[in-house]
Structure 1
């Protein structure tokens, strides 16, 4: 089970005018709990001043995963935070968090991951979508000498580009195994590709010119909804099997809300949930998601974004049917196997049973 623990802030480093990294110290007793696979994320929470409302946000780990030299787990964790206009947590992290503060941090989660293995890999990222991919590519190149990586990244301007120095360092360390292509949407570059959005039409011409598309072992797409969807569609048109495409969406404001099921909602319904070995059954109130019903009775139910993006609230549907409003976290094989996002699920039958422990 994912759990929160207080972690001390060891460093706050400014990346750009609107982004920072937070580094957390992990005490020896918790290092095994915070072992992570490259690409995973952390949920961080605070309680707002005034009404004390709980605020949770999810941020990807950008540091390489601990190797054999750290068998117990990481001594530190580093995440990237981009300032969002009006963002309750990002504003706090950007302007108020200081070294020595303690923040409540959930143990790592997420399946946008890559265990180092030989092969050719590639990523298409936009903006802060570089954050988990930085962990993925650094870990891969450090641990697997028979692997190569092509990174295609899109940013507004050079000044707004997160982890500029870290990515340049990768190119210096592994010039024969790491390929970098940068596209700026609002600024001309002295060399390389011209400015403009990295849309599907542009990707269709660019990708085959950069890499042998059919030979890529895994594609990693991360960033805003439009970029990720456009890149996925382009890859499918180029004949890439969906099992080789991995995606994580950071911004879904422009994404449609489409229910996975057309089953009518029952007049009355109950949800039975198993969580950390204990089960309970509760009535679902009008308009509630199944996660909200469980949270009214079990405050320890796992969640982070409540937007169908992070996958922290994934649960196995033991029985009954649900309607999922959005799903940007589960792979098709996961939904086919019976997994749902509790934050996006509403009952489509009188009874639904979920298991958060599977």
Structure 2
């Protein structure tokens, strides 16, 4: 649960003017702790002016084989966010030899290698987890194919350009790449412009047999992911075959349906085998209540995006402000995001261990 370890920075590679890749060395004693599935992410933390800052970054390096040793290194991509407390630090200050506090891998936006055809639609830094998925899948499963549709502003702003080109060279018969640029003309390929629902509805069936794709992986800004999902649903793709991870959600995103909050409420939370009950202060999320009493409660983004604070709702009722991390089957099964949940009943019980 929410355990951090200091890992040394082994390499800092400039990808574009506004992004870097950080390689973290994993000591032998921690390699099992950092074993990860393709598509998972890491939470990194630092303290700024006395305030703890956590940010989540997807692992772009291949996942270790289940029957092999854990990873010797982990690589993440960081894109500069204007005013970003961690991304500015990563691009301007982090150097080889520095130590970073890194949480064990987490996340359910994953692809376990299996035979079949898989596809992804990504935008910008959304390539990061999908790069790990595609690399791991193609290297480990010879009967698998992968189609990547990626959208970027310009060639110069495209993260992991060389790594994706290497996949084309290594697996020319099993890896298909289609690139769309929104602000630059290409000599070949798609015309300039954004990948909206209309374009994707026509493009995807022309690229591959949509109905034969075992899993669709959508990752990037909210607008692109929503457009891709609507296009796929319009092409009769079942929601169960569509997997999403959102990057860059604007603060103005509408909240979920409102519900009256009780005058007094309390949350009981089970965490790492221990339970406690605490009163919820006015306006607090359930995660904030738990954190006041249990500093080891798991979280990273606090924005409803990463899913690190997922908990099972044992009893009571909650209202989630927004949810960009849990799949419909997870919410149907009773899981909530503690960072976005507020009590609707006087008593709420959460289980972070399930």
TM bucket, shorter chain: over 0.9
Q: Is the Cα–Cα contact under 8 Å of residues 274 and 356 in structure 1 kept in the other structure?
A: yes
Q: Work out the CA distance in 1 between the residues paired with 2:321 and 2:133.
A: 30
Q: Is the Cα–Cα contact under 8 Å of residues 2 and 297 in structure 2 kept in the other structure?
A: no
Deviation by residue 1:261-307 (Cα, 9 ceiling, x = unmatched): x4311111000001111111110001100000000010000000000
Q: 2:58 aligns with which of 49, 55, 60?
A: 60
Tell whether 2:259 aligns with 1:263: yes
Deviation by residue 1:178-206 (Cα, 9 ceiling, x = unmatched): 00000000000011111001100000110
Q: Is the Cα–Cα contact under 8 Å of residues 19 and 78 in structure 2 kept in the other structure?
A: yes
Q: Give the direction of change, closer, same or farther, for the CA distance of 1:305–1:337 in structure 2 (3 Å limit).
A: same
Q: Work out the CA distance in 1 between the residues paired with 2:268 and 2:106.
A: 24
Q: 1:295 aligns with which of 291, 295, 303?
A: 291
Any idea what SS the aligned residue of 1:333 has? Answer: helix
Matches within 5 A, 1:43-58: 43-48=43-48, 51-58=49-56
Q: Work out the CA distance in 2 between the residues paired with 1:263 and 1:56.
A: 30
Indicate the residue corresponding to 2:184 in structure 1: 187
| Structure 2 unpaired stretches of 5+ | none
Q: Is the Cα–Cα contact under 8 Å of residues 2 and 299 in structure 2 kept in the other structure?
A: no
Any idea what SS the aligned residue of 2:159 has? Answer: coil
CA positional deviation for 1:259: 1.9
Tell whether 2:142 aligns with 1:171: no
Q: 1:197 aligns with which of 189, 194, 199?
A: 194
Question: TM-score normalised to the size of structure 2?
Answer: 0.98
Q: Is the Cα–Cα contact under 8 Å of residues 327 and 344 in structure 1 kept in the other structure?
A: yes
Indicate the residue corresponding to 1:345 in structure 2: 341
- Let me know the Cα RMSD of the aligned residues: 1.0
Any idea what SS the aligned residue of 1:117 has? Answer: coil
Deviation by residue 1:195-250 (Cα, 9 ceiling, x = unmatched): 00110000011000001000000000000000000000110110001010000000
Q: Work out the CA distance in 2 between the residues paired with 1:310 and 1:67.
A: 24
Indicate the residue corresponding to 2:127 in structure 1: 130
| Structure 1 unpaired stretches of 5+ | none
Which portions of structure 1, spanning 4 or more consecutive aligned residues, are displaced by more than 2 angstroms?
A: 254-258
Q: Work out the CA distance in 2 between the residues paired with 1:139 and 1:123.
A: 14
Q: Work out the CA distance in 2 between the residues paired with 1:237 and 1:31.
A: 43
Indicate the residue corresponding to 1:88 in structure 2: 85
Q: Work out the CA distance in 2 between the residues paired with 1:266 and 1:129.
A: 39
CA positional deviation for 1:255: 6.5
Indicate the residue corresponding to 1:110 in structure 2: 107
Moved more, 194-203 or 248-257: 248-257
CA positional deviation for 1:149: 0.5
Any idea what SS the aligned residue of 2:63 has? Answer: coil
